[in-house]
Amino acid sequence: MTQGIANREVGDQFEGFLLIKSVDKGVASNGKPFLTIIFRDRSGEIEAKLWDAAKEDEETFLAEAIVHVQGDIKQFRGKHQLNVRQIRLANEMDGVRIDDFIEKAPVDLDEMKDYLSQMIFALENPNIQRIVRQILKKYNDDLFTYPAATKNHHEYASGLMHHIVSMLKIAQQMKGLYPELNTDLLYSGIILHDIGKIKELSSPASPTYTLEGKMLGHISMMVEEIKLTAQELGIDGEEVLLLQHLVLSHHGKNEWGSPKTPILREAEMLHQIDMIDAKMNMVNRALEKVNPGEFTDRIFPMENRQFYKPTI
């Protein structure tokens, strides 16, 4: 457990740098304006009130600014709140960067790049390999910075690649246990399945849904992209259709946004691996924040369950 802003106790003094996530203006019961600021660092977030906020404060403390803050941790309606005593903008001398305040995938970027290269190199079907390479080439810059989602699981910088890499590793083990699996299909399906998120989300840093994302969704966009890419490369074998189905069906159920459910062995396996990695990512990160003998917060996408950390 790191000692960030999210790990302090009520009553603690805090002094240090924080990133402003959002600012909201209100009017207090005495008629004076105040600011509600959400601060964040890598450990998480905390809300603060800046009472009697001057016009100048409003113009200074904006979202995405880094500030130096002194204050105490209070309790308000069952949640922590930072009672700000002093606040100033960080300056160049402070030597702090936005990246220092944003959660990142807990793995080395270069290692992930190498591993991905090897996995693509290992694809035996030339059509599949060419389609995968061509698509990845288009996204090169974003592939290693985007999160896998805006919330719930792998929702941090490089989360998308972290998710892909974890799934590929599970897939390699599954091949050992179920040798009937066609690894060309399974590996390429995993690599492509969520790449559509790069178009679905607006930016790696504070992602929101794009118009295209809301209208079509990342699944349909990638299914279309596979076809377009195959056409560019002059490929039209069954491989194209199989790759499209692997992406199309990976949510596993109509209700969950896959217009067709898996009818390939590898598509079913892809869906199962996706669920395991998403769930483990959520559970592990929730358990990290509690001590043995305690329960985690409720995990919304896992039916709101609270997990227990055993004492043995």
Chain positions 236 to 265 lying near a copy of itself, rule: CB under 8 A, are: 237-239, 241-242, 244-245, 248, 254-265
Q: Which helix (H) or strand (E) holds 269?
A: helix 265-288
Selected range binding a copy of itself among 38-46, 131-139, 149-157, 162-170, rule: CB under 8 A: 162-170
Cα separations in angstroms, 291 against 305, 308, 309: 17, 9, 7
Q: Is residue 38 involved in binding a copy of itself (CB under 8 A)?
A: no
Tell me if residue 143 falls in helix, strand or coil. helix
Chain positions 174 to 193 lying near a copy of itself, rule: CB under 8 A, are: 174, 176-178, 180, 182, 184-185
CB of 133 to a copy of itself, least distance (A): 18
Q: Is residue 275 involved in binding a copy of itself (CB under 8 A)?
A: yes
Chain positions 108 to 137 lying near a copy of itself, rule: CB under 8 A, are: 125
Instruction: State which residue, 25 or 97, has the beta carbon closest to a copy of itself.
Output: 25
Q: Which helix (H) or strand (E) holds 233?
A: helix 217-233
Token pair 């035996």 is at which residue? 124
Tell me the site size for a copy of itself, rule CB under 8 A: 85
Q: Is residue 223 involved in binding a copy of itself (CB under 8 A)?
A: yes
Q: Is residue 68 involved in binding a copy of itself (CB under 8 A)?
A: no
Residue 194 near residue 205 (C-beta atoms within 8 A): no
Q: Is residue 283 involved in binding a copy of itself (CB under 8 A)?
A: yes
Interstrand relation of 44-50 and 79-89 (parallel, antiparallel or unpaired): parallel
Residue 262 near residue 252 (C-beta atoms within 8 A): yes
Instruction: State which residue, 93 or 312, has the beta carbon closest to a copy of itself.
Output: 312
Tokens of 6: 């999210």
